[in-house]
Structure 1
Amino acid sequence: MFERDYLIRLLAQAGLVLGKAMGLKEQRKQQEALDVLDEFLGRELRLRSRLAIGLSDEDLLSMLSVTGSPNAESVAIVAAFLQREADLFADLGREEDSVPRYEKALRLHLYALRNGMEVEGWNTRGSIDELLTALSAYEMDALTKKAIWPWHESEGRFADAENVLYELGEDEAVGAEEGDAFYARLSELDDTALEEGGLSREEMEEGRKQWSALMKENELA
C-alpha cells in the first residue's frame, strides 16, 4: 500500500511540474522550464536529463527498474519529461538537444506499450503521435526506426511499416530474414486487411521483390 501511495503521489507531482513547465513555456521562459523539469527528475528519480540522454535505453530502463523490471510510472514520467524538454529546446532552436530527446521519449513510450506498461491517465498513444509528428522533419537514427517499425505493423499501418523497413534495409540495420518474415506475415492477411493498412496485395508482392533486390545489392556492396 505504501508503494502504491507513493507512486500515485509521484504521478500527481509530475503532472503538476509538467503543467508548471508548460506555463513557463507560454511565458517564453524556456530555460526556467527546463530547470524545473530537470530538478524534479533529480530529486524524485535521482536522474538528470543529461544522464538519461547519455545512457543506452537498456541502461536507462535498468535505472528505472524495481526488482528487475522497469517501473511503469517512472518510465512514463521520464518519457513525458524528455518530450517536454525536447519541445523547449526546439523553441530555443537547439535541434542537437531536442531531437535526441524526442527520439528517446518515443522509444520509451513504445517500450511501455509493447510491454503492457501504460499508466492510467497518461496518454501514451497520443504522445507517440505527437512525437512522430515532431520527428517527421528529421532523419531518425536506426535504433528509433527499429522501435517504430513493429509499432506501425502492430497498429495495422502496413505501408508505413514497409517504408521504415526499407529505410532500415538501406541503413543495413536489419537483415534479409527480418524483412522476409515481415512479408510472410503480410501474405497471411486477407486483402481487406492489407488495403486498410495502405497496401494492395499486388503492392505487397512488388515490395517483397524490391526487398529481395535490395538485400542482394547490400550483399554485393
Structure 2
Amino acid sequence: MLRLIEEMTQMIGKAMGLREQKKRTELLFEWDELMQRRFRINGELSDKLSADDMMRLFMTNGRLHADELQAFAFLLFERAKLEKEKGLHEDEERHLDSRLEGVELGQAEAMYIRRSMKALNLLLEAMLHGSDRKVLPVMPSMEQLLHELKPYKLEESALARLWRWFEQEGRYAEAEDALFHWLQSAAERPDELQLRKKLAHGFYERMEALPDEQLEQGRLPRDEIKQGMEDVSSL
C-alpha cells in the first residue's frame, strides 16, 4: 500500500505538469497502466463494471480491503477528470461548429458524471468500512464529488451509503436530506419502503440520544427530530 501511495503521489504531480502541457493522452495511458498493474482493472473495464461489481473485486472471504478500495476510487476519479479534459480539449482542436460541439461536450460531460458516480459509491463504501484517510487527500475529492453531483439524481445505492456516511461524519442535517431522498426513491415499492422507514426511525432514535450541542454542530436541532419522525411515518 505504501508503494502504491508513492506511485500515485508521483502520478498526481506529473498530472499537473502534463495538464499544463496538454499531454493528457500520454498521462491517461500511464494512469491505466498503473490501475492495471496494481488492481488488474484498466480504464475500459472500469467503465463496463458497476460499482458493486468492482467492490466485490476488493473482497476476500467477505472482508473488504477498504484502503485499497479507497485508493482505487481516488484513481478512478482522477482518471474521470482527465478523460473529461481530454475530450473537451479534442473538441476544441477539431473546431467543431457550435451545434456539433454541443453534442460532443454533452457526451463528455455525461461520461464524466457516470464515472464520478462510480467513484463516489466506491469512496463512500471504503470510508464506511474505516479506510485510512490520512494516506491520500480523499476528503477534497469527496467534497468535489458531492458538489459536482449535487444537480443530478444519485443511484439508490449511493443514497443508501451517503446518508450513513453523513451520519458517521456528524453532518446530521445532510444525513437527513439524503435519507429522505433514499426513502422517496422506494415510494412505489411498499414493502421496501417499510423496511427503509424502520431504518429511518432508527436514525432519529440515535439523534434523540445525542446531546444538544452535538446536534447543533450537525445542524439538526432537537425540535426538528420529532418533525422528521412524523414525516417518515406519513410517507
Do the structures match in fold with TM over 0.5? yes
Task: Return the alpha-carbon distance in structure 2 between the equivalents of residues 177 and 155 of structure 1.
Answer: 21
Partner of 2:181: 167
Deviations 1:92-139 (A, max 9, x none): 341222112222222222222222221643123332222212222322
Match of 1:198 among 209, 216, 219: 219
Contact 1:21 1:36 in 2 (8 A): no
Q: Following superposition of structure 1 onto structure 2, how do residues 66-85 of structure 1 map, counting pairs within 5 Å?
A: 69-85=63-79
SS at match of 1:47: coil
The answer for the alignment partner of 1:9 in structure 2 is 3
For structure 2, the 5+ residue unaligned runs are 89-104, 187-191
Distance 2:84 2:148 in 1: 10
Q: Conserved in 2, the CA contact under 8 Å of 1:11 and 1:73?
A: no
Superposition RMSD in Å:
2.4
Partners of 1:169 and 1:104 in 2: how far apart? 21
Q: Which runs of 5+ in 1 are unaligned?
A: 1-6, 215-221
The alpha carbon displacement at 1:65 in A equals 4.2
Return the match for 1:185 from 206, 222, 225: 206
1:141: how far off? 1.6
Change (3 A) 1:21 1:66: farther
The Cα offsets for residues 15-63 of structure 1, whole Å up to 9 and x where unpaired, read as 2223323332233344443333122212332211232243233432332
SS of the residue corresponding to residue 153 of structure 2 reads coil
Aligned partners of 1:34 and 1:88 also within 8 Å: yes
Q: Between Structure 1 and Structure 2, how many residues are aligned?
A: 208
Which of the numbers 145, 158, 161 marks the counterpart of 1:131? 145
Over 3 Å counting, the alpha-carbon distance change for 1:154 and 1:68 in structure 2 is closer
Decide which of 110, 114, 117 is 2:128's aligned counterpart.
Answer: 114
Q: 1:155 & 1:120 partners in 2: Cα distance?
A: 15
Matched, 1:154 2:175: no
Indicate if the aligned counterparts of 1:106 and 1:128 stay in contact, CA closer than 8 A. yes
Partner residue in 2 for 1:219: none
Of the structure 1 ranges 147-156 and 108-117, higher mean CA displacement relative to structure 2 is found in: 108-117
1 or 2 for the larger relative contact order (CA 8 Å, sep ≥6)? 2
Instruction: Name the CA distance, whole Å, in 1 between partners of 2:202 and 2:66.
Output: 30
Tell me, in whole angstroms, the C-alpha distance in 1 between the residues paired with 2:204 and 2:134. Answer: 35
